[in-house]
Amino acid sequence: MSIYSVLGAGNGGQALSALLKRMGHEVHLWNRGSATINALNSLGAIELKGQCHVKAKLDLITTHLEDAVRDAEIIFIVIPANAHREIALRMGRFVGNKQAIILNPGRTGGVLEFIQGLTEAGSYSLPLVMETQSLLCACRAHAPGILDILSFKRENTISGIPRSRIEDLLPQLNSIYGNLKLANTTLETGLDNIGAILHPTPVLLNSGWIESRDVFFPHYYYGISRSVAALVEKIDSERLQVARKYGVAVSSVKQWHENNYGFKGRDLYETLQGNSAYASIDAPRTLTHRYLTEDIPTGLVPISELGRTAGVPTPHIDMMIELGNAMLNVDFRKNGRNLKRLGLEGKGIEEIRRSFA
C-alpha cells in the first residue's frame, strides 16, 4: 500500500482521491478553502457514479498542507495551472527528493514553473516533478462528494524532470492511469495542451450568453458552432506549427478527441457533436472562469511566446489573448507563463528544448 496525497478538492481531485482509495492506498486530500473540506468530512465518503461506482472513505481530508503531503510517495496536484507557482512556493520547504509530484495536468510549461517555485522557496532537495497531458477522467459534481464520471481518457502522456527517474515509476503510474505513455520531454506534454485550444475561444465568443443566461448552455455542443469550430481549428493549426518548429509531435485537437473518445467526424465540429461524454457539460456562467483565467495564461500565452522565439506567427492565438485581456481588464501575457517567468528569456530553440528535457 502506498501513501498518496491529492492537492485540490475540486471535481478532478475528489474523483482521483476516491479512485486511488478504491485501489487500496492510503489517501490524503487537501484543499485551500475550508468549505469543501468541511463538507467532505461531514459527508464521510466520496461517491462516484456514472462510468464508475465507488464509495470511498479517505484517510485524511484537511486544509493543512504539510500534514497532507507528509510521507506521501506521490503528490498529485489537481488545481488550476495558474495556481501551480503559488503551491510550489508553499511546498518548497517540506518536500524532498524521495517524493514525486504530478501536475494533473501541467498545461504548457508547468514543470518548469513548478521547479522554479520550489527552488525559490528554498528547496535544495528537489523531488521528481512530472506533468500529465490531461486529467484521468472527465467528471462533474452533483454536490460535494457526489460525482458523475462521464468518461475515462483512453490515453494520456506524462513526462517530467528528471525524466530518467520516471521509468521505474511507470508500472505504478499505469496502475493508476491505465494506458499511460512516457513522452520524450515536458515540451511534448506542454504543447499537447488541448484545453488551451477548446476553452478560451468558445467562452470569449459566447460571452453574451455566458453573462446573461439562466439556462443550460452546453459548452461543446452550442458554444462550439461550425464557425467557432473553424476558428478553433485555425488556432490549433498555429499550435501544431509551433510544435513542429521545436521538433515535437503532438496530435491535432480533432485527432486527440478521436483517440480518446472514439468518435470520428469529418471536421472538428462533427467530432465534438458526436461526443456523448460532453452532452452534460455546461458552459461557464462567468468570464472569471478557469477556461479563461487558467487556459489563457498557462496555455495560449506560452504557446505564443514559444512561437515568437521560433519565428512562427500565431495571429489567431494572439487575438484571443488580447481579447481576453480587454474583456477581463488584465494582462495575461505579463502575468502568465511568458519566457521570463519560465526562465527561457533570451534562449534559442535548442536551448529551450534542453530546458524542457
Residues noted as catalytic:
199, 295
Instruction: Retrieve residue 311's grid coordinates.
Output: 519565428
Q: Report the alpha-carbon angle 106-112-117, nearest 5.
A: 100
What's the CA gap between 248 and 191, in Å, rounded? 8
- The answer to whether 332 and 296 are in contact (CB under 8 A) is yes
Q: Which of 82, 32, 33 is nearest to 330 (CA)?
A: 82
Omega before 202 within 30 of 0, i.e. cis? no
What's the CA gap between 45 and 41, in Å, rounded? 8
Strand order in the sheet with 137-143: 54-56, 46-50, 146-152, 137-143
101 has which bridge partners?
75, 129
What's the CA gap between 220 and 90, in Å, rounded? 35
- The answer to whether 241 and 227 are in contact (CB under 8 A) is no
What's the CA gap between 5 and 288, in Å, rounded? 28
Work out the burial of residue 288: count CB atoms within 10 Å of its CB; fewer than 13 is exposed, 13-18 middle, 19 or more buried: exposed
